[in-house]
């Protein structure tokens, strides 16, 4: 019982406490160790659902070496049966060594007849065996392979150092002598280092340090019969730090004296794997790093969201007036509004139907996109708002949705002249002080993309008056204009002539009264559908000399 006292007095963070023994039944002996909720290291290693990175490797190896170092310095002196199933993991992911220090006691009990090597077969009765032990230590030191439930495990005999295997029968009786045990304590510790090398390989590679072609059961049988077997080795297909590979080979050295001490093993693994603190500490650091990275990521994503919001707002403001978009974003309804004075502009591509019939759909799309992109650049410089495009029809308004007094007529007149094909003054015979005020003449240089030799010709018309504006529809809401002003502006375009700008009497009067620099010529009286006879005018140019008088 002296051994049991040493085991019970062993206290270390990486040792599983030994709770005691029980003989509740004549044919049964129980050894009790503290329960560890996460099971054995073997359960973790060979469970593919667990992702084990270097932090886990370092923490597992550090905990095992700390536990072994304590045992080697304690009265127990050695572990004696280190395997992946005698290495437990508690709820805090701390590795706990178990089944330590009882191998010699088990052998003494067997020698004295206290317990038997026989175990109950699956489905058998207790009476079929004279004694039964439930500890795995007996299986380990008597070289019995694990039962079926641990089919993925390495047979216990393969964790045993070769000098222990080959001299087991020879020294079986001498092991009962405490003096002999003391003399060979360093050898027992060296055997722990050999077993640790096998465990370390399993942790790093989740596999055994033998070729995949090796029959482990056959190898274990040979080992139990005292035959020499192949040594563990790092497989060629495994990537490993050179210092770790050298350490593994030292742990598996044939000569016990050539194997490193547990202190050297611990310092080497901690240095190579850069292990600091427990696995919980590592996980805490990981969580802190994750939190910091998360803050950075949130900041980056917030910036991206803000940029996306700006882009979305910009796009929305292009589809709807800014104030309308803001009201809709805030969930507020946009009531219809009457504007007493505004100017509505329409343009149309001359011969568009014929052009479409001899062009592919993609060519038509490219044509309209290039034309309307040019128009958009022009109206963006003026206080104008593009209401919609329907096919080749292009509709613009000024004075809506932002009222601008009578400035709307000047804006639309400038837009009309800038997009129209006007390169010179109205008449070469008139005074040269009458010029076209154009920053660029869009249609003068524009050519149809798929017909470079052809120029685009349009009609333009506009009219001034009162209009009503409202947002129509729930799905894909549209900002629309209503009233006779819209209809008459459309008629000004449709009854006009190619390459000219036709305006109504109302628009001409506004220009004459407030912006006399715009040059107009009376076209005459025209029959306007639904409106009867109307006097219309051509807008010709803009005379800069008016500003110099």
Give the pLDDT score at 48: 82
**In terms of pLDDT, which residue wins out, 18 or 169?**
18
DSSP state of 447: E
Range ranked top by mean pLDDT from 211-215, 224-228, 298-302, 428-432: 298-302
Helix axes 322-329, 279-319, angle to 10 degrees: 140
Q: What's the rounded Cα separation, in Å, for the pair 508 and 491?
A: 16
Domain CATH for 188: 1.10.510.10
Same domain membership, residue 30 and residue 130: yes
Give the pLDDT score at 322: 80
What digits encode the pLDDT tens for the residues 84-134?
A: 989 999 988 899 999 898 877 777 777 777 776 554 344 444 333 333 333
Q: Are strands 393-398 and 337-349 parallel, antiparallel or unpaired?
A: antiparallel
Q: CB–CB of 346/461 below 8 Å?
A: yes
Q: What's the rounded Cα separation, in Å, for the pair 87 and 451?
A: 82
Helix axes 505-514, 407-419, angle to 10 degrees: 110
Same domain membership, residue 510 and residue 375: yes
What digits encode the pLDDT tens for the residues 296-340?
A: 888 888 999 999 888 888 887 777 888 888 888 887 888 899 999
Specify the long-range contacts of residues 113-121, CB closer than 8 Å, at least 24 apart: 114/29, 115/29, 117/142
Note the residue count of the chain: 549
325 part of a folded domain: no
pLDDT over 90 (residue 539): yes
414 part of a folded domain: yes
Q: What's the rounded Cα separation, in Å, for the pair 94 and 278?
A: 7
Give the pLDDT score at 272: 86
pLDDT band of residue 350 (cuts 50, 70, 90) is confident
**Which contiguous run of DSSP H or E holds residue 312?**
helix 279-319
65 part of a folded domain: yes
Percent of all residues in the chain with a pLDDT value above 70, rounded to a whole number? 79
Range with the poorest average pLDDT among 172-186, 202-216, 271-285, 300-314: 172-186
* Structure tokens that stand for 424 in this block: 């010179």
Residues pairing with 394 in the sheet: 347, 389
324 part of a folded domain: no
**Locus of tokens 């359960």:** 43
**Buried-state track 395-410, b at ≥16 Cβ within 10 A, e below 16:** bbbbbbbeeeeebbbb
Give the pLDDT score at 6: 82
In three-state secondary structure terms, 14 is coil
Range with the poorest average pLDDT among 63-72, 244-253, 431-440: 431-440
**Buried-state track 476-506, b at ≥16 Cβ within 10 A, e below 16:** ebebbbebebbbbbbbbbebbeeebbbbbeb
Full 3-state SS string of 211-233: CCCCCHHHHHHHHHCCCCCCCCC
Range with the poorest average pLDDT among 55-69, 84-98, 143-157, 533-547: 143-157
Contacts of residue 376, Cβ cutoff 8 Å, sequence gap at least 6: 386
Q: What's the rounded Cα separation, in Å, for the pair 38 and 90?
A: 5
**In terms of pLDDT, which residue wins out, 53 or 141?**
53
Same domain membership, residue 258 and residue 303: no
Give the pLDDT score at 123: 40
* Integer CA distances (angstroms), 33 to 16, 208, 240, in order: 7, 27, 35
**What integer best gives the mean pLDDT of the chain?**
79
**In terms of pLDDT, which residue wins out, 225 or 384?**
384
Q: CB–CB of 435/541 below 8 Å?
A: yes
Same domain membership, residue 470 and residue 412: yes
Q: What's the rounded Cα separation, in Å, for the pair 111 and 106?
A: 9
55 part of a folded domain: yes
Q: CB–CB of 476/392 below 8 Å?
A: no
Give the pLDDT score at 442: 60
Mean pLDDT, residues 421-449 taken together: 47
234 part of a folded domain: yes
Mean pLDDT, residues 271-297 taken together: 74
Residue 337: asked if its preceding bond is cis (omega within 30°), the reply is no
In three-state secondary structure terms, 492 is helix
Range with the poorest average pLDDT among 287-291, 339-343, 388-392: 287-291
Q: CB–CB of 193/259 below 8 Å?
A: yes
pLDDT over 50 (residue 417): yes
Q: CB–CB of 320/479 below 8 Å?
A: yes
Same domain membership, residue 347 and residue 247: no
Q: CB–CB of 110/72 below 8 Å?
A: no
Range with the poorest average pLDDT among 39-53, 213-227, 462-476, 516-530: 213-227
Q: What's the rounded Cα separation, in Å, for the pair 250 and 65?
A: 15
Same domain membership, residue 249 and residue 215: yes
329 part of a folded domain: no
Same domain membership, residue 195 and residue 292: no
Same domain membership, residue 228 and residue 105: yes
Same domain membership, residue 263 and residue 172: yes
441 part of a folded domain: yes
Q: CB–CB of 122/27 below 8 Å?
A: no
* Structure tokens that stand for 258 in this block: 């050539």
Range of the domain at 439: 334-547
pLDDT over 60 (residue 8): yes
Percent of all residues in the chain with a pLDDT value above 90, rounded to a whole number? 28
Residues pairing with 88 in the sheet: 40, 96
Mean pLDDT, residues 520-526 taken together: 91
Q: How many domains does the chain have?
A: 3
Range with the poorest average pLDDT among 153-162, 433-442, 499-508: 433-442
In 3D space, the residue among 330, 328, 344 whose CA is nearest the CA of residue 473 turns out to be 328
Domain C-terminal end among 288, 319, 350? 319
Q: What count of Cα atoms within 13 Å lies in the side-chain half-sphere of residue 429?
A: 0
Q: What's the rounded Cα separation, in Å, for the pair 81 and 103?
A: 7
Same domain membership, residue 198 and residue 82: yes
Among left, alpha and beta (phi > 0; psi -120 to 50; other), residue 532 is: left
pLDDT over 60 (residue 192): yes
Domain CATH for 484: 3.30.70.1230
Range ranked top by mean pLDDT from 77-81, 136-140, 211-215, 356-360: 77-81
Same domain membership, residue 503 and residue 362: yes
pLDDT band of residue 278 (cuts 50, 70, 90) is low
Same domain membership, residue 372 and residue 461: yes
How many Å is the Cα radius of gyration of the chain?
A: 47
């Amino acid at each position: 019982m002296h051994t049991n006292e040493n085991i019970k007095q062993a206290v270390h963070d990486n040792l599983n406490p030994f709770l005691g023994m029980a003989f509740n039944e004549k044919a049964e002996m129980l050894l009790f160790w503290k329960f560890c909720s996460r099971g054995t290291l073997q359960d973790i290693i060979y469970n593919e659902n667990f992702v084990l990175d270097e932090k886990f490797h370092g923490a597992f190896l550090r905990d095992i070496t700390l536990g072994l170092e304590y045992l080697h310095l304690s009265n127990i002196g050695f572990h004696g049966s280190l395997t992946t199933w005698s290495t437990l993991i508690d709820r805090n992911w701390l590795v706990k060594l178990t089944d330590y220090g009882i191998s010699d006691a088990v052998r003494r009990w067997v020698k004295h007849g206290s317990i038997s090597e026989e175990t109950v077969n699956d489905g058998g009765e207790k009476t079929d065996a004279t004694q039964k032990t439930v500890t795995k230590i007996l299986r380990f030191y008597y070289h019995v392979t694990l039962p079926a439930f641990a089919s993925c495990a390495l047979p216990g005999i393969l964790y045993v150092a070769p000098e222990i295997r080959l001299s087991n029968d020879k020294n079986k009786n001498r092991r009962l002598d405490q003096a002999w045990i003391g003399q060979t304590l360093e050898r027992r510790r060296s055997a722990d280092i050999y077993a640790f090398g096998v465990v370390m390989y399993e942790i790093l590679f989740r596999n055994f340090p033998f070729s995949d072609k090796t029959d482990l059961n056959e190898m274990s049988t040979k080992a139990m019969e005292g035959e020499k077997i192949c040594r563990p080795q790092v497989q060629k297909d495994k990537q490993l730090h050179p210092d770790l590979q050298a350490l593994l080979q030292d742990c598996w050295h044939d000569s016990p004296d050539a194997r490193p001490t547990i202190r050297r093993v611990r310092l080497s693994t901690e240095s190579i794997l850069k292990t600091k603190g427990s696995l919980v500490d590592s996980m805490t650091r990981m969580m802190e790093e994750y939190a910091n990275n998360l803050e950075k990521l949130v900041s980056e994503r917030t910036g991206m969201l803000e940029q996306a919001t700006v882009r979305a707002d910009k796009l929305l403001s292009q589809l709807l007036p800014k104030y309308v978009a803001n009201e809709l974003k805030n969930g507020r309804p946009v009531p219809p509004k009457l504007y007493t004075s505004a100017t509505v502009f329409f343009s149309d591509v001359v011969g568009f139907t014929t052009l479409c019939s001899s062009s592919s759909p993609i060519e038509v799309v490219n044509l309209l996109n290039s034309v309307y992109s040019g128009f958009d650049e022009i109206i963006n410089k003026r206080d104008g708002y593009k209401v919609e495009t329907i096919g080749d029809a292009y509709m613009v308004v000024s004075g809506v949705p932002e009222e601008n007094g009578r400035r709307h007529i000047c804006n639309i007149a400038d837009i009309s002249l800038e997009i129209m094909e006007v390169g010179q003054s109205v008449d070469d015979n008139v005074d040269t002080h009458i010029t076209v005020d154009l920053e660029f003449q869009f249609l003068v240089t524009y050519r149809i993309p798929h017909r470079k030799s052809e120029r685009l010709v349009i009609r333009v018309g506009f009219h001034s008056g009162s209009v009503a504006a409202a947002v129509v529809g729930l799905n894909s809401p549209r900002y629309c204009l209503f009233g006779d002003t819209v209809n008459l502006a459309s008629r000004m375009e449709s009854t006009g002539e190619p390459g000219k700008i036709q305006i109504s009497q109302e628009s001409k009067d506004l220009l004459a009264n407030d912006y006399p620099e715009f040059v107009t010529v009376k076209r005459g009286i025209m029959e306007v559908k639904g409106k009867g006879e109307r006097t219309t005018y051509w807008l010709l140019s803009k005379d800069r000399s008016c500003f110099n008088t």
